[in-house]
Amino acid sequence: MSRYNLHNSYKAIVIGGSAGSFQGIIKILSQVSAGFPLPIIMALHRLKHVRHGFVEALSIKSNIKIVEPEDKESIRKGIAYLAPANYHLSVELGNYFSLSTEEMVNNSRPAIDITLSSSAYLYRNKLIGILLSGANRDGAVGMKQIKDKGGLTIVQDPAECMIDTMPKAALSLTTIDHTLSIDNIVAFLKELQQHYK
Amino acid sequence: MITELDIADLKKITELILQRHGYDFRDYAMSSFKRRVLRILELGGLTIDTLLKQLSDQPDYINDFLDGLTVNVTEMFRDPGFWRLLREEIIPGILLNNKQFKIWHAGCSSGEEVISMNIMLKEMGLMNDVTIIATDLDTVILDKAKSATYPLKNMEVNEKNYIRFQGKYSLKNYYREENGRAIFNPELLKNVSFRRHDLVTGDAFNKFDLILCRNVMIYFNQALQNQVLKKFHNSLFKYGYLAIGTKESLIWCEYVNRFIVVNQEEKVYKKIKD
């Protein structure tokens, strides 16, 4: 019946997005229901000097709480975390976040690769990585690291992306388990949630 | 290219540096520490073994290593709202009690924040009333800070921040251009003393009215953040101010109750108890 062969041992979902991903993110957050059984960790490219407004914009239609974590904040399920403006967001052994102001990676801070890479290291095969529309190659290396550690990899269908460079870069660098439209990513997440009941 | 290090590799490095050189990185946040070491390996074309050998056999290499390890990415007037708060509330608050006062920039890196501070103080007519101590672990970066010279390409973002800070003039009033570099007026550093100091192993060394340590403790784990906050507490006069990065937090530190929050948004605290 299902295409996905899902189970309830995943510990986190990490989502990367850039140009053209905003509407997709909004849709995903508006469709997952409250009490989602995993943390959703989002690294989205954003204006570095605009500290406010992004969480509020994402929150309007979201059923789950959206938080820009502070340094060393614990990671909790059922919350969507957004990398703050002008900081890289990592996860640490011990299941908490850390922030950094290191050099930009792929011309980006927050860089998707940093969040994905540290998540792959922490969660290993218990991680789901999702990469959405975007205009550069950020996230491809991180998706490869997720795959190499046994995690599950999903990209937004390039045919649907406003700008398909980012998912295509990941597709050419590593094995992507599922290439899905936003609607199907939503369906995937709803099905995943059923496994935790 | 090495893309992954395990904990055992990192431990070998931290133990060697501690024994041989006296720097203690055991309580640094692991993900960023690992990325810094990977970057040093990549830029130097090194392996873990050759890195360990260099750290062990070449006494001077530690300075380059520290320079690679510390994150030296910063901007002038980073978070302009913070600088407006300093100008409009914090500095006037200090002036209520003291005509002259002292500031510590802990982890000053290449000195952008020190320059910003003195530009602000100069525009407030206060520069001669303030003594600044600026410290960093990294001697290479301290030399850069002393030179007050920055790549011209950095000045676009610095100028944008300065405009958002609503400074009186233009940053161009404070530097001259030469060979693709912005060289700031040395007068802007006349009240500044740069010193090497390690927040981890160093002691409190003076008392201050204001300490800035923004986006430095994010590279430490919580245990170390807790220790460093005690040193800051010990280094502040009663009713002195501490500014940390906008996404940092002190709420889990033992000494948090000895401070009150002056501004939650910009993360400025005030010491209220000894």
Is residue A138 annotated as a catalytic residue, yes or no?
yes
Predicted local confidence at residue B107, as pLDDT? 97
Q: What is the pLDDT of residue B153?
A: 95
Distance CA A72, CA A49 (A): 22
User: Where residue A47 falls among pLDDT bands split at 50, 70, 90?
Assistant: confident
Q: Give the pLDDT confidence score for residue A50 in this predicted structure.
A: 84
A 44-103 residues with CB < 8 A to B: 49, 51, 68-73, 84, 87, 90-93, 98-103
Calculate mean pLDDT across residues A77-102.
97
On the question of pLDDT at B2 being above 80, the answer is no
The one catalytic residue among A117, A119, A133, A138? A138
* Tens-digit pLDDT profile for residues B126-177: 999 999 999 999 999 999 999 999 999 999 999 999 999 999 999 999 999 9
Residue A45, pLDDT score? 96
pLDDT category at B1 given cuts 50, 70, 90 is: low
> What does the pLDDT average to over A19-47?
95
pLDDT at res. A19: 92
Closest Cα in chain A, distance from residue B249 (Å):
7
| Interface mutation vs chain A, best among B247, B251, B261, B263, most A CBs within 10 Å | B247
- The answer to whether residue A45 is catalytic is yes
Catalytic annotation present for A195: no
**At B13, phi and psi to the nearest 5?**
-65, -50
* Interface list for chain B against chain A, based on CB atoms closer than 8 Å: 3-4, 29-32, 35-36, 71, 73-74, 79, 160-161, 164, 215, 217-219, 221-222, 225, 245-249, 252
Scanning every residue of chain B, which has its alpha carbon at the shortest distance from the alpha carbon of A90?
B31
Lowest-confidence pick of B4-8, B184-188, B241-245, B252-256: B4-8
Judge: A101–B71 Cβ closer than 8 Å, yes or no.
Answer: yes
Q: Give A121's pLDDT tier (boundaries 50, 70, 90).
A: very high
B32-84 pLDDT per residue, tens: 999 999 999 999 999 999 999 999 999 899 999 999 999 988 999 999 999 99
Count other Cβ atoms within 10 Å, centred on residue B204: 14
Task: For domain B80-148+187-271, give the CATH number.
Answer: 3.40.50.150
Query: Is the pLDDT reported for residue A49 higher than 90?
Result: no
Q: Is A179 exposed, middle or buried (0-12, 13-18, 19+ CB in 10 A)?
A: middle
Instruction: Look at A101 and B73 and tell me if their CB atoms are within 8 Å.
Output: yes
Distance between CA atoms of residues B170 and B163, nearest Å: 8
Domains of chain A by start residue, with CATH: 12-112+123-132+142-194 (3.40.50.180)
Q: Which residue has the tokens 């750290």?
A: B55
**Three-state SS string across chain B, please?**
CCCCCCHHHHHHHHHHHHHHHCCCCCCECHHHHHHHHHHHHHHHCCCHHHHHHHHHHCCCHHHHHHHHHCCCCCCCCCCHHHHHHHHHHHHHHHHCCCCCEEEEEECCCCCHHHHHHHHHHHHCCCHHHEEEEEEECCHHHHHHHHHCEEEHHHHHHHHHHHHHHCCCCCHHHHEEEECCEEEECHHHHCCEEEEECCCCCCCCCCCEEEEEECCCHHHECHHHHHHHHHHHHHCEEEEEEEEECCCCCCCCCHHHHHEEEEECCCCEEEECCC
The chain-wide mean pLDDT, for chain B, equals 96
pLDDT the model gives residue A153: 98
State the pLDDT at residue B4. Answer: 79
Q: How do residues A127-185 score in pLDDT, each as one tens digit?
A: 999 999 999 999 999 999 999 999 999 999 999 999 999 999 999 999 999 999 999 99
ipTM of the complex: 0.93
Q: What is the pLDDT of residues B7-41, one digit of tens each?
A: 999 999 999 999 999 999 999 999 999 999 999 99
| Minimal CA separation from B71 to chain A, in Å | 6
Confidence band of A197 (pLDDT split at 50, 70, 90): confident
pLDDT band at A51 (very low <50, low <70, confident <90, very high): confident
Set A21, A45, A88, A133: catalytic member: A45
pLDDT at A1 over 70: no
* Min Cα separation B202/chain A (Å): 23
What pLDDT was estimated at residue B95? 97
Chain B residues inside the 8 Å CB shell of A118 = 31
User: For residue range B84-124, what is the model confidence (pLDDT) as tens digits?
Assistant: 999 999 999 999 999 999 999 999 999 999 999 999 999 99
- Contact (CB<8Å) B29/A98: yes
Name the residue among A68, A99, A118 with its Cβ closest to that of B218. A99
- Map out the domains of chain B as residue ranges: 7-69, 80-148+187-271
